[in-house]
Amino acid sequence: MIPRFVVHLPWRTMLIVLLFQFERDLAGFSVRRQKPLRLVKKEAGLSHTKKVDISDRPLSKDGKLLLSKITEAGSRGDWWQVQKLFAGYAGTELPIFHAVMQHAFNLEQIRAGAEVYRKLCAMKIPQNAPTFSIGLKIFARLGLRDDVEDIWKKARATCELDEYLAGARIFAAAAHGDVPTAASILDEMNKTGVQKSVWHINSAIRACWEAEGKNDNAADFLFQYLRSLGLEPDDITYTCLIGAYSDASLQKIQAAYQEMKIRGIMPTTALLKPTW
C-alpha cells in the first residue's frame, strides 16, 4: 500500500521514496511508527529555541513559582493548565510571557501563542532576543509575513544577532520559501562569527523546498556549504534536499538517495509532506 504522504510528491521524488521503502521492507525492517511532528521538528533543529532565561530579567518570588508551574505543565503537554495559570497572571515579567509562548509553539497552540505575544506588545514590555525569536517562529507558522518583518526590525534595533535569533529568522524564511533572506542571514552569521549548526542549514535548504520555481541549484550550494563547515548532514538535511529536488533531474535525486543509503540514513517521512 502506498503511504498517504507519497501521493503528494512529484513523481521523481515519489519513485525514490517508494524504492527506499521497498528496499527497507525487503531487508526485513519493520516500518517504524511515525514520531509526532513536534518531536521530528525538534530533532530536525527546526524548532531550536533558547530556554527561558531569567539572568537579565530577575523574577519575583511569586514569578519564579509561577514559572516553575508553567514549565511543569508545558513539559507534560498540558496546555489547558498552562492557559489557566497564565490567565490568573497580571504581572509584566518577561520570562512568564516567554515561557507561555514557547509552550504554545511546542504544543501546536500557535494562535494562542500569537495572542500572548500581542498582549506582551500591547503592555509595552521590553523584549529580549529569546522573546523576539519565539515571536518570529509563531507568526511565521501563521503565515503573517508583515508581522514577521515587524518583529525582525524591532529585534535588530535592540539585540545583537545570536545563533537562536538567526535560527528563528531562517525558520521564518523557510516557512515562506524566502531563499534570499535565509541566505543573507547565513552570510551575516559568517561575517559576524555567529555559530552555525546543521539546523541552520537545514532550515535554509527547506526554504528552497518551499520556494516557487526551480531551486535545486540553491539547495545544492547550501548542502555543499554545510559540508564546508565540517558539519554532517542528517536525515532532515536529505529530506529537505530531496524536497528541493522536485523539479530536478532524476539522476540528481538518485545521487542524493545513494549517498543517503551509503551513510545509513533513513528518510524522515513525516516531513515529506510538511505541515509547518
Q: What pLDDT is stored for residue 14 in this prediction?
A: 55
Asked whether residue 32 carries a pLDDT value surpassing 60, the answer given is no
Higher pLDDT: 136 or 9? It is 136
| pLDDT tens sequence across 40-50 | 444 444 556 66
| pLDDT tens sequence across 238-254 | 888 988 988 888 888 88
Higher pLDDT: 192 or 275? It is 192
Structural domain that includes position 18:
8-27+35-45+197-276
> Given 3-state DSSP classes, what are the helix, strand and coil percentages for the chain, each rounded to the nearest 5?
65, 0, 35
Q: What pLDDT is stored for residue 15 in this prediction?
A: 54
Q: Does residue 76 sit within a domain?
A: no
pLDDT band for position 9 (50/70/90)? low
Cα distances from 59 to residues 54, 56, 87, 195, 255, in angstroms, run 7, 10, 18, 29, 54
pLDDT band for position 272 (50/70/90)? very low
Q: Does residue 241 sit within a domain?
A: yes
Is residue 129 within 8 A of residue 53, CB to CB? The reply is: no
Q: Does residue 249 sit within a domain?
A: yes
Q: Does residue 95 sit within a domain?
A: no
Measured CA to CA, the distance from residue 183 to residue 13 in angstroms comes to 25
